[in-house]
Amino acid sequence: MTDPAHPHTVCRRFSAAAQTYETHAAVQTLAAEQVLALCPETPTPRRIFEAGCGTGLLTRHLLRKYPAAELVAVDVAENMIRQARHLTPARPDLHWHVADATTFRDAAPFDLIVSNCSAHWVDPIGLLFANLAALLPPGGGLAFSLMLHDTFCELHDTRLKIAPHKPPTARLPRLDDVLESLRNSGFQIRQAQAARHLQYFPGAVAFLRGIHEMGLTGGAVSQAKTPLTRQELEQLATEYDRAFKTNESDVVATYEVGYVSAVRLSPSFS
Ligand SMILES: C[S@@+](CC[C@H](N)C(=O)[O-])C[C@H]1O[C@@H](n2cnc3c(N)ncnc32)[C@H](O)[C@@H]1O
């Protein structure tokens, strides 16, 4: 991937983490259930597009909720799609594609677009929403979750303390910015909320290993122009343990997750 909106490291890290991703994806599993609850009971969608399906956590829920729908699921990371195929029973109306959700096109429109914990990997996020709007007719629905600004705020603060001269080159979006971008792409917001989910780990090293094994360490929100040295990484783990220990052994990590449902306006209203 050479497009600056989808850095090569994002694709590469997720592909490398495909087999270990789900063992660590507790918050993403919870978020998938919340996205499902945002999807309509009626009318039942006939064609669904899923952007950034990963290993198929949300896809499998959708297949149970809408057994008669055609489902097209895409992800930029080839091994994520391979793992999704492996974990999901095959169905003639289920189509997996290694593809970029910011440019993907299909011959027919969709009634519903969904995405779980993936949209924040596109920078700027409006590139994604503009393409999703093009895949939906007026009245078509969008339901998704994404990670927001305060996700891993403990890690962010510790990192700036240890290596203030090596800040990550970007920060996750705030909910208001996401909603503004959606409106600018021709969507009307139906529901939007931000929730904090806390996860506990037996120390900073276990936390850092977990996010590495989920593939979350690619892209501008994790990486600085100059990487941290081994010594800085050790200092970071020590300082994280000191500052964010919640009891004898556990440290906390915050996820701030946005849950949004929206509808595509007709072009004259957007
Ligand atoms: C944290 S994972 C979430 C996966 C899955 N939706 C879930 O619920 O577990 C984010 C996924 O988004 C994918 N992704 C990032 N940018 C993408 C893009 N532009 N198009 C398609 N997939 C993308 C990554 O490859 C990765 O598999």
Q: Over the stretch 23-77, which tens digit does the pLDDT of each residue have? A: 999 999 999 999 999 999 989 999 999 999 999 999 999 999 999 999 999 999 9
Q: What is the dihedral of CA 73, 78, 81, 83, to 10 degrees?
A: -170
| Other C-beta atoms lying within 10 Å of the C-beta of residue 217 | 18
pTM score of the predicted model? 0.94
Is 178 a member of any domain? yes
Is 139 a member of any domain? yes
| Percentage of the residues of the chain whose pLDDT score is greater than 70 | 96
Q: Over the stretch 73-106, which tens digit does the pLDDT of each residue have? A: 999 999 999 999 999 999 999 999 999 999 999 9
CA atoms within 13 A on the CB side of 198: 8
Among protein residues, the one with the nearest Cα to ligand 1's atom 8 is 116
Is 227 a member of any domain? no
242 within 8 A of 126, measured Cβ to Cβ: no
Q: Which residue in the block uniquely carries the two structure tokens 């276990």?
A: 206
Is 223 a member of any domain? no
Check which CATH number belongs to the domain holding 76 and give it: 3.40.50.150
Task: Give Cβ neighbours of residue 189 (< 8 Å, ≥ 6 apart).
Answer: 179, 182, 183, 260, 261, 262
Q: Can you state the angle between helices 230-244 and 204-213, rounded to 10 degrees?
A: 120
Rounded to the nearest angstrom, the distance between the alpha carbon of 232 and the centre of ligand 1 is 29
Q: What is the DSSP string of 24-55?
A: H-HHHHHHHHHHHHHS-SSSPPSEEEEES-TT
Q: Which residue in the block uniquely carries the two structure tokens 């007719």?
A: 137
Rounded to the nearest angstrom, the distance between the alpha carbon of 222 and the centre of ligand 1 is 15
Rounded to the nearest angstrom, the distance between the alpha carbon of 75 and the centre of ligand 1 is 6
Q: Over the stretch 119-159, which tens digit does the pLDDT of each residue have? A: 999 999 999 999 999 999 999 999 999 999 999 999 999 99
Copy the structure tokens of residue 127: 């590139």
Q: Which residue in the block uniquely carries the two structure tokens 């991703």?
A: 21
Is 60 a member of any domain? yes
Per 3-state DSSP, the chain is made up of helix, strand and coil in percentages (nearest 5) of: 40, 20, 40
What residues are in contact with ligand 1 under a 6 Å CB criterion?
A: 6, 10, 14, 25, 28, 32, 51-54, 57-58, 74-77, 80, 100-102, 116-118, 121-122
Task: Give Cβ neighbours of residue 142 (< 8 Å, ≥ 6 apart).
Answer: 112, 113, 114, 132, 136, 182, 187, 260, 261, 262, 263, 264
Instruction: Tell me the residue type at 224.
Output: A
Ligand 1, closest atom to CA 6? 19
Rounded to the nearest angstrom, the distance between the alpha carbon of 121 and the centre of ligand 1 is 7
**What pLDDT, on the 0 to 100 scale, is given for residue 223?**
72
208 within 8 A of 196, measured Cβ to Cβ: no
Rounded to the nearest angstrom, the distance between the alpha carbon of 215 and the centre of ligand 1 is 10
247 within 8 A of 203, measured Cβ to Cβ: no
| Beta strands 141-147; 187-201: pairing state | unpaired
**What pLDDT, on the 0 to 100 scale, is given for residue 224?**
73
Rounded to the nearest angstrom, the distance between the alpha carbon of 139 and the centre of ligand 1 is 25
Rounded to the nearest angstrom, the distance between the alpha carbon of 115 and the centre of ligand 1 is 8
Ligand 1, closest atom to CA 128? 19
Is 160 a member of any domain? no
Please tell me the total count of domains within the chain: 1
Is 133 a member of any domain? yes
Cα–Cα distance for residue pair 84/116, rounded to 1 Å: 14
Among protein residues, the one with the nearest Cα to ligand 1's atom 10 is 118
Instruction: Tell me the residue type at 235.
Output: Q
Structural domain including 33 reads 8-152+171-199+257-269
Is 210 a member of any domain? no
**What pLDDT, on the 0 to 100 scale, is given for residue 6?**
58
Among protein residues, the one with the nearest Cα to ligand 1's atom 4 is 54
Torsions phi, psi for 112 (to 5 deg): -145, 135
Helix, strand counts (H, E) of the chain: 10, 7
Measure Cα distances from 241 to 63, 202, 213, 253, 256 in Å.
Answer: 41, 9, 20, 11, 21
Q: What is the DSSP string of 142-161?
A: EEEEEE-TTTTHHHHHHHHH
Copy the structure tokens of residue 245: 């220990």
